[in-house]
Amino acid sequence: MNLRSAAGGAVRPFLVALLTGLLTAGSAQQAAPVPSPAAPGQNVQDRRVRAAAPAPLSAQEQATLQALVGRVRPATVRVEQCPTPACTTRDGVGTGVLISADGLVLTAYHVIEGATVLSVQTENRTRYRAEVVGYNDQDDLALLRVQVPAGTPFLPLATARPAVGDIALAIGNGGGAFLKTKVGRLTGLDSDAGRADFPPGTLELNAPLVPGDSGGPVVNTRGEVTGIVSYVSVNPQARQPQSYAVPVTAADPRLAQMKAGVKLDAPVIGIFLGGPFSDLFFLPAEGFRKLAPLLKLGDTPGAFFTSISRGSPAEKAGLRPLVLNDDAERISGDIVTAVNGKRIVNFGEFQYAVRAYKPGDTITLSVLRDGKPLEIKLTLAGRSTLRN
């Protein structure tokens, strides 16, 4: 009998049709209230503040933002995983913003994640070597230090959080551009991607941002940085993608930590949900029950996964990923039903439960293996310590 990992195995046509239907249910669940790691027991949508229909920018507002460009663009940098002075092969491009006279650059953590060498380019295309001072993986923030000349422009951080409806200027390097300006309006506060591996509590704006703009500043009408661009959400039913930025202020304790050299990894156990199941992060219990008879998953809804990182806590603890035969039936694979006694029914809830802890913490997983209950202890690792 030919066995295949569920991440890359063949799936029967009728199962594909079922999965397509379940994706709709999963997407609806993803938009429903989910617990935030930063505020256990509190619903994301209870905290969220959004504009029902943001007004287009007026001519005066457009002029106000354009007047800021001359101040903001010289303080914004292109961040590359590339050596200096010669940069012939680039491995990743993002954006950052100078926030101090001594060369501190604020950017998104995912822009510099895993980089062995970093450099930045200022507005005049001069390249400087950059070093990581600190980072916060969960909140997608990183602080770099660059030896820029005295007098290089920088931007202050906002003294207060913004409000829905505020106009905003963003500058980035997306789509092959160099420090391109984009304008829009803040359409939401305390937004959430519905996945624990994205930062919680973000600002939502309708500026047309794209990959490469990540790490760039979102600036208010006073020329203050109110957020750092993190991710873009593409909704086929929307006219344009929504953009999201991590809010920052001058008194932000995360910034103080990063200045002190703190490097905060997100806690992980080293499992993934991929292949035809990659969009079923928030598969509801009723969706699991529909899928279970076909894949032989059992009667109890829980989180299944399709692959494990080498050397990860999951591998060391002996967790088993989903493996299917040629008939798309489960041959092996654990179903996780609780984390430290907290009931979970899908992979997304599993992620949120794990992210409530920190690297080095030991947790207990309630697992169903071949229909038999098991209690498995493992110690969480920092995400940067794992490599696939």
Q: What share of the chain is helix, strand, coil (3-state, %, to 5)?
A: 20, 35, 45
**What is the Rg, in whole angstroms, of the alpha carbon atoms belonging to the chain?**
22
Quote the pLDDT of residue 110: 94
Quote the pLDDT of residue 69: 94
Quote the pLDDT of residue 358: 95
Residue 332 token pair: 């092996």
Residues of the chain with CATH 2.30.42.10: 3-32+266-385
DSSP conformational letter for 322: -
pLDDT tens, position by position, 326-383: 877 888 999 999 999 999 999 999 999 999 999 999 999 999 999 899 999 999 999 9
Bridge partners, 218 (sequence order): 170, 227
Q: Quick one: CATH architecture of 3-32+266-385?
A: Roll (2.30)
Residue range 43-258 in CATH 3.40.50.2300: no
Place of tokens 């071949």: 370
Quote the pLDDT of residue 47: 45
H or E element: which one contains 18? helix 13-31
- Asked if 34 contacts 194 with a C-beta cutoff of 8 angstroms, the reply is yes
DSSP conformational letter for 117: S
Question: What is the CB-side half-sphere exposure of residue 26 using CA atoms within 13 A?
Answer: 23
Place of tokens 């930063």: 38
Residues of the chain with CATH 2.40.10.120: 43-258
Across 57-61, average pLDDT: 90
Of 10, 3, 1, 2, which is closest to residue 323 (Cα–Cα)? 3
Of 18, 1, 4, 3, which is closest to residue 286 (Cα–Cα)? 18
Q: What are phi and psi of 372, to 5 degrees?
A: -105, 135
Quote the pLDDT of residue 86: 76
Place of tokens 């940085």: 225
pLDDT tens, position by position, 279-305: 888 899 999 999 999 888 999 999 999
Across 74-97, average pLDDT: 86
The proportion of the chain whose per-residue pLDDT surpasses 90, expressed as a percent, equals: 64
Dihedral angle sign, alpha carbons of residues 187, 190, 193, 194: negative
First to last CA, the chain: 28
pLDDT tens, position by position, 106-125: 999 999 998 989 999 999 99
CB atoms within 10 A of CB 176: 9
Predicted confidence band of residue 48 (pLDDT cuts 50, 70, 90): low
